[in-house]
Amino acid sequence: MRKNNAGWVGWLFLFSAFVYSLAAAPDKLEDERNFQITLQFHLAESLEKDGKLAEALLIYNDFLELYPQSDFRWKALEAKARIFKISHRYQKAVSVYKKLADMTLFSEKGLEYLFEQASLYEKTGFPVKAEKLYKRIIETNPNSPIAEKSRIRLNVQTLLSDTASACANCVEK
Task: For the chain, list the domains and their CATH numbers.
Answer: 1-87 (no CATH), 88-173 (1.25.40)
**Structure confidence at residue 116 (pLDDT):** 97
The whole-model pTM stands at 0.73
- Sequence-ordered list of residues with C-beta below 8 angstroms from that of 24, at least 6 positions apart, any chain: none
* Residue 114 predicted with pLDDT over 70: yes
Q: Are 43 and 59 in contact (CB under 8 A)?
A: yes
Q: For a pLDDT cut of 90, what percent of the chain falls above it?
A: 55
pLDDT single digits (tens) 157-171: 888 776 766 666 665
- Express each pLDDT in 120-142 by its tens digit: 999 999 999 999 999 999 999 99
Per-residue pLDDT at 133: 96
State residue 1's pLDDT score: 45
Mean pLDDT, residues 148-161 taken together: 88
Q: What is the pLDDT of residues 28-61, one digit of tens each?
A: 667 777 788 888 888 889 999 999 999 999 999 9
Average pLDDT, the chain: 83
**Cα distance between residue 88 and residue 100, in whole Å:** 19
Residue 110 pLDDT greater than 60, yes or no: yes
Distances (CA, A) of 117 to 77, 90, 94, 120: 14, 9, 5, 5
